[in-house]
Amino acid sequence: MITFPNESAKYRTAREKLLRKEIELRRAMEAVAEARRALPPGGLVPQDYVFDALDDQGQPAKVKLSDLFAPGKDSLILYQMMFPRHPQETREVAKGGETAKLARQDQPCPSCTALLDQFDGAIGHLEAAGFNFAVVAKTALDNLTALGRDRGWKNMRLVSSAGNAFKRDYNSETAEGAQIPLLSVFHRDGDGIRHFWSSELDFAPADPGQDPRGIGTCEILWNLMDFTPEGRPNWHEQLQYAGHAAGAHCH
């Protein structure tokens, strides 16, 4: 047992009780990850979807889904972004940078953008560990790459699905065209590319007072708040904050 300076016996007793719950949570997380890895093979991708992306020289190019798999790396983590934002989104739009030139309805979701701000620094480590990562959005490639420049993203592969039905086929777009956030994993085997897993928790009913937490275990921002006595505030991410630009290069 450890202690910290000037803590009371009451605090230590309560902390030890909480620690037991944290151990239970850790075990549950490991059990869920093990069950996820044990899923039977998912459905084969019906076509080698063609996206708009930038090539190695930074020029616009057509890129297939299969091209997003580097040699020897057979799992692709794909974040399906809400860009354009949901039609009912009421948060402020970007006030600076290239993204500010877009009409309100064509701008990105602030929450998706904030999440990708957090992901970008992890991509180099993720790829070194043997995984592929990309972001797909329904917006035009120019809009997506402009957002990347505004935010200072350096590492993420950005692809546009404006010319295909990928997001509709994989439950990240409604029949009416509204965008839905989704984290998906695809795996390549001897038969082709298969869908392995997606964050279906976003589609399940949430407990009272909670958001769906579809990918809650890797949302750095909100998990950090959970460590504090205040907990998660009644607050939402924004593209920019008063006196502070969230993106590295939003001016």
Please write the tens of the pLDDT for every residue from 165-223: 999 999 999 999 999 999 999 999 999 999 999 999 989 998 988 878 888 888 999 99
- Specify the amino acid at residue 106: D
For the beta sheet containing 192-198, the strands, ordered from the edge strand earlier in sequence to the opposite edge, are 60-64, 50-54, 157-160, 132-137, 75-80, 182-189, 192-198
Whole-number pLDDT of residue 202: 87
What is the rounded CA–CA span in Å between residue 163 and residue 152?
A: 26
Q: Annotate 127-193 with DSSP letters as a single string.
A: HHTT-EEEEEESS-HHHHHHHHHHHT--S-EEEE-TTSSHHHHTTSB-TT--B--EEEEEEEETTEE
What is the rounded CA–CA span in Å between residue 131 and residue 25?
A: 26
Nearest alpha-carbon partner for 84 in 169, 172, 215, 153: 172
CB 165 within 8 A of CB 149: no
CB 217 within 8 A of CB 224: no
Q: What is the pLDDT of residues 16-44, one digit of tens each?
A: 999 999 999 999 999 999 999 999 999 99
What is the rounded CA–CA span in Å between residue 240 and residue 244?
A: 7
pLDDT over 60 at 59, yes or no? yes
CB 73 within 8 A of CB 123: no
Torsion sign across C-alpha atoms 197, 134, 68, 170? positive
Beta pairing partners, 159? 136
Q: What mean pLDDT is predicted for residues 91-108?
A: 96
What's the Cα-to-Cα distance from 185 to each of 18, 123, 131, 146, 181, rounded to whole Å?
Answer: 33, 15, 10, 25, 14
Whole-number pLDDT of residue 248: 45
Predicted TM-score of the model (pTM): 0.93
Whole-number pLDDT of residue 77: 98
Nearest alpha-carbon partner for 116 in 87, 146, 155: 155
**Sequence-separated (6 or more) residues with CB below 8 Å from residue 94:** 100, 102, 107, 150, 239, 240, 250
Q: What is the pLDDT of residues 228-238, one digit of tens each?
A: 999 989 899 99
The chain-wide mean pLDDT, for the chain, equals 94
